[in-house]
Amino acid sequence: MSTLTAPDTAEARPAPSGVQKRRIIFASLVGTSIEFYDFYVYATAAISVFPLLFFPASDAGGALLASLATFGVAFVARPVGSIIFGHFGDRLGRKATLLGSLLTMGIATVIIGMLPTYAQIGLWAPVMLAIMRFCQGLGLGGEWSGAALLATETAEKGKRARAAMWPQLGAPIGFLFANGFFLLLTIWMGHDSTDPAHDGTFLTWGWRIPFLASAVIVALGVYVRVKLEETPVFARAVARGEKVKTPLKAVLQTSWRQLIQGTFIMLATYTLFYLFTTWILSYAIGATENGMLGIGYQDFLVLQLIAILFFAAMTPVSGALADRFGRKPFLIVVTAAILVFGFFFDSFLAPEVMGTGADANMGLMLVFLIIGMTLMGLTFGVQSAILPELFPTNVRYTGSAIAYNFSSILGAAVAPFIAAWLVQNHGVAWVGVYLASMALLTLLSLFSTKETKDLDLDTLTATDAQPAVA
């Protein structure tokens, strides 16, 4: 089993200069913000646009499930992207790979904004949409790990989780931009999700604007990342002759236990987030005759945007607490809180408690969203520290990317679909039970993992390094 050396040695690791530090922070933050913006633009459209334009069905529930199924296609692609970009990230370096992942994601998003609809080309419309969604998944599969390594491999001693939280902030920032953009467009164009007009401006062409706008911000991201330097940890590993020929083979041979642990450490985080961003939107604005709440899209989106601020605020808190108390004990406490919270879904979301349509209790819904997003910020902020810390330098990109993205299949790809099915067949309380069960699996993985706060990312023991060195 591949492990890192025990505690950080006193070996000098020069801290980045002020200019370098700001460049690293901005590059890791802006890149993930762009990537998550692209991802969430699709997630929002998958609820409010694509069921109407790309997935005609005999009933609204069937169209929604079909749209959510293509939403999950990206999560199948993400492990593939983690293997591809992880290979080049561990072979060629972090910088070049980060540029490739950003361009893959951005180009696919722009193409989605140009696709013809089902009414124009029939079944080819959802097929092409699914292909572009797959390409989005490929790009994001390589993006997160590279950004996390950029932050962790240049961090000062004792401040690694605080440095690693910067790419994590890209998630709430991307969400705010994506959903804020959609909110402004629906207000400007007079779109009503409870009674959508197929010939209205928004569904005719307005929904395309957020996808096409990705071209501008991707260009900004490329400009920022071109100016980066390679991380010193990776450069020293290359100088020591530790670069591997086949990172995937090496990580499976030397770090397979860490792959399993990392996958399940992320499980509760993924499930929580996609329940509170994608599924909850479909449940909140869904028709009351289908057992949902019938809240207006614009009204609910305002609540989501408020709640996401708590996600953003808790992300740096997570990094600071994980550096102080350790990754393992901190995540155990937060994951236990997620598990308990799952058993209170019915107390918040049952139609007879929440109310429906114009009578829905918006204050209660906001409290529910704030609790979920607060827990999300606390659990997500430290993931970009703990996952890279599980793997040695020469397979760190591949290992952390595979764990992160395989977890996305188990926790995110199927979460909106399973939750929608549970509501239709068993009621909303079972969505909370589903979340609690995923949190339980994460807790079991955390208990099996050693604390990584004081490990040195820059050094491998000779015994661990040799099997993986080409």
Residue 7, SS3 per DSSP? strand
Picking from 402, 455, 463, 363, the residue whose alpha carbon sits closest to that of residue 87 is 402
Q: At CB < 8 A and 24+ separation, what contacts does 56-59 make?
A: 56/118
Bridge partners (DSSP) listed for residue 460: 4
Average pLDDT over the chain, rounded to whole? Answer: 82
Residue 465 pLDDT > 70, yes or no? Answer: no
Mean pLDDT of 213-217: 83
Q: In which region does residue 294 sit, left (phi positive, over 0), alpha (psi from -120 to 50) or beta (all else)?
A: left
Q: Residue 456 contacts by C-beta under 8 Å, 6 or more apart in sequence?
A: 4, 5, 6, 7, 8, 9, 11
Q: For 264-322, what is each residue's pLDDT tens digit?
A: 999 999 999 989 988 898 899 888 887 888 888 788 888 998 999 999 999 999 999 99
Domain segments of the chain as ranges: 19-229+242-468
Alpha-carbon gap, residue 138 to 79, rounded angstroms: 8
Task: Tell me how far apart the alpha carbons of residues 202 and 60 are, in angstroms, rounded to a whole number.
Answer: 19
Which one is predicted more confidently, 439 or 6? 439
Q: Judge whether residue 5 has pLDDT over 50.
A: no
312, amino acid identity: A
Q: Determine the number of helices (DSSP H) and then strands (DSSP E) in the chain.
A: 26, 0
Which CATH architecture is the domain 19-229+242-468 placed in? Up-down Bundle (1.20)
What's the rounded mean pLDDT across residues 130-154?
A: 83
CA distance 332 to 321: 13
pTM across the whole model: 0.81
How many CB atoms lie under 10 A from the CB of residue 153? 26
CA dist., res. 97 & res. 82, Å (int): 11
Higher-pLDDT residue of 39, 356: 356
- β partners of residue 7: 455
Average pLDDT over residues 399-404: 89
Binned at pLDDT 50, 70 and 90, residue 466 comes out as: very low
Give the Å distances, CA to CA, from 251 to 87, 90, 352, 384: 11, 11, 51, 18
Q: How far apart are CA 113 and CA 210, in angstroms?
A: 8
Q: What is the pLDDT of residue 8?
A: 39
Summarize pLDDT for 101-122 with one digit per residue, the tens: 888 888 888 999 999 988 888 8
Could you tell me what percent of the chain has a pLDDT over 70?
A: 87
d(CA 46, CA 64): 8
